[in-house]
Amino acid sequence: MDMLIVPIDREGGEPIYVQIYEGVRDKITDGSLPVGTKLPSKRKFADNLSVSNTTVELAYGQLLAEGYISSRPRSGFFVQDVGELAYAQPLKPAPVLPATSGQPGETKEYVFDFSPGRIDTEAFPFDAWRKQAKSVIDESSADLLLLGPPTGEPELRQEIALYLNHSRGVACTAEQIIIGSGTEQLMPLVIRLLGGDTVYAIEDPGYPLTHHIFRQNDRRAVPVPVDEEGINVRLLGESGADAAYVTPAHQFPTGAVLSANRRSQLLAWAAEATGRYVIEDDYDSEFRYGGIPVPALQGMDRHGRVLYISTFSKSLMPSLRIAYMVLPRQLVPRYTELFDHYASTVPRFDQHILAGFMRDGSFSRHLNRMRKVYRRKYTALTAALASYRETVAFEESQAGMHLRLAVRTERTEEELVSLAAAAGIRVQSAGSYSVNPKPKEGIAEIVLGFGGIPAQEIPDAIRQLMHCWWIGRT
């Protein structure tokens, strides 16, 4: 297909590449572009639309990242099978609800810490946070000294609902949002909410804390393999699970984005039987360095089967201890029945500080600034690793705050971790995140988190890491 036209509003507020991406995406999802259709080359498409090649390249890059199209070497771009997907439309702001009554225990210090859980602490906007804290204290009444709503402060839930709708495509109102002190506090509530007989599917490899939570709450968790398109939905269907815990925007630790076809399959799987649910952990979706953020799975859910969970640990600070979940509407009454007597686990003052921080635009400005900070770190890391490309390999996911490194070596992952620790460098083995580790012969996989290391120190950190592994430059 040499002639493909999508509408472009050159006076509108959205970037042109986003308009092109959305136009092609909509033609794919509504069937106007059948599966297997060859799209115009980037140059031809740019000529047709009178835009730059770079603009089309950005649009195609986003479509590739989300699995709507595929790229075949020397052949071009082709439409993929994505099934049926629905997208959330922006909601009108819901009214504000009325008010009603690094790792624990670790002491070792490292010269360079590549732990995936670390963030950049130098760029935090202390002045803006201090201003909100002062405002809350100065303007508060004695009412804030008492216990607040068990689901969280209405003001904060309203700000989160607005943020999710506009930034993540999540279709929700404040009434569906529950505030908690972390994923590890919210997940046991989800487990009780879904009932004692529920069997859970977990990504393998995947987030180990969640695996522990299922085990500690005496729930059966079945590992389902993850590949370059995300969780294998065919094997999920054979697992006997009633609920699936997934990280679709940026899978941990592989970095895979759940493809459009897999998203369609996953939502279809959830809708096939009564009581099936998908638990979507959107833990670091704010940080994508190429194209626009991948939309949340929840916004594509037409049957109310997705529970959405996220946190401010990566976007602000782990010590804030504020996370939240968005319940499907049909689960809200049952949640109220089960947990209305619980007290909120997050201090009311902290909730109001965060609500003000979001309301005055400080949160959005901080995210924009941190995307640039982490993009510089990502670029520094991939550039430093490129010097050792004969021995190490990695997927350039252009997202998140970690990447998975494949090292060609006769050493085990545990040996590489120990050698690094002896040199004062903390790394983690990819196998430590697997339920059923399956080492590849001659290949060790290491997870490198780059959030906590200054960009200017990353080249030296990689040089020292490779030196302790006896890996030379190419």
Q: Return the SS3 of 256.
A: coil
Write out pLDDT tens, residues 5-31. Answer: 888 887 766 788 888 999 999 888 888
> Strand pairing partners for 201?
222, 244
- Distance CA(89)–CA(80), nearest Å, equals 24
Q: What DSSP string describes 20-64?
A: HHHHHHHHHHTTSS-TTPBPPPHHHHHHHHT--HHHHHHHHHHHH
Cite the DSSP H helix spans in 112-182: 126-139, 154-168
Q: What is the dihedral of CA 317, 322, 327, 333, to 10 degrees?
A: 180
Residue 396's pLDDT band, with cuts at 50, 70 and 90, is confident
| Alpha carbon 360 to its chain's center | 24
What's residue 473's pLDDT?
A: 74
Residue 108's pLDDT band, with cuts at 50, 70 and 90, is low
- Distance CA(267)–CA(304), nearest Å, equals 10
> Strand pairing partners for 227?
230
Cite the DSSP H helix spans in 143-289: 154-168, 183-194, 208-216, 233-237, 260-271
Residue 416: CB atoms within 10 Å = 22
> CA dist 420 to 129, 254, 366, 448, Å?
37, 21, 33, 12
The answer to whether residues 147 and 141 touch, using CB atoms and an 8 Å cutoff, is no
Q: Return the SS3 of 449.
A: strand
Residue in the block written with tokens 């992952």: 413
- Distance CA(236)–CA(61), nearest Å, equals 28
The answer to whether residues 49 and 19 touch, using CB atoms and an 8 Å cutoff, is no
Assigned token pair, 443:
């290949």
- Distance CA(359)–CA(353), nearest Å, equals 10
- Distance CA(320)–CA(197), nearest Å, equals 34
Q: Return the SS3 of 459.
A: helix
105 has a pLDDT exceeding 50: no
Task: Please give the average per-residue pLDDT across 463-473, as a whole number.
Answer: 90
Among residues 379, 323, 372, 332, the alpha carbon closest in space to that of 351 is found at 323
> CA dist 8 to 15, 24, 292, Å?
10, 11, 17
Is 444 exposed, middle or buried (CB count within 10 Å of its CB: 0-12, 13-18, 19+)? buried
Assigned token pair, 105:
């225990």
Residue in the block written with tokens 């030296």: 460
- Local structure of residue 399 (DSSP, 8 states): B
Q: Count the helices and strands in the chain (H runs, E runs).
A: 14, 16
Residue 304's pLDDT band, with cuts at 50, 70 and 90, is very high
Helices 458-468 + 362-386 axis angle, to 10: 40
- Local structure of residue 296 (DSSP, 8 states): P
> CA dist 134 to 127, 138, 147, 351, Å?
10, 6, 21, 14
- Distance CA(474)–CA(468), nearest Å, equals 16
Write out pLDDT tens, residues 177-235. Answer: 999 999 999 999 999 999 889 999 999 999 877 888 988 888 899 999 999 999 999 99
Write out pLDDT tens, residues 23-55. Answer: 999 888 888 889 999 999 998 998 888 888 888
362 has a pLDDT exceeding 80: yes
- Distance CA(150)–CA(99), nearest Å, equals 11
Cite the DSSP H helix spans in 230-386: 233-237, 260-271, 332-339, 348-359, 362-386
- Over the range 371-385, which residues count as b (16 or more CB within 10 Å of their CB) and which as e? eebbbbbbebbbebb
Sheet with 402-408, strands from edge to edge, namely: 392-394, 402-408, 443-449, 428-429
- Distance CA(244)–CA(266), nearest Å, equals 9
Among 77-86, 146-155, 247-256, whose mean pLDDT is lowest? Answer: 77-86
Write out pLDDT tens, residues 314-333. Answer: 999 999 999 999 999 999 99
Among 88-102, 287-301, 432-446, whose mean pLDDT is lowest? Answer: 88-102
The answer to whether residues 199 and 276 touch, using CB atoms and an 8 Å cutoff, is no
The answer to whether residues 280 and 262 touch, using CB atoms and an 8 Å cutoff, is no
Domains of the chain: 16-79 (1.10.10.10), 124-364 (3.40.640.10), 369-468 (3.90.1150.10)
- Local structure of residue 1 (DSSP, 8 states): -
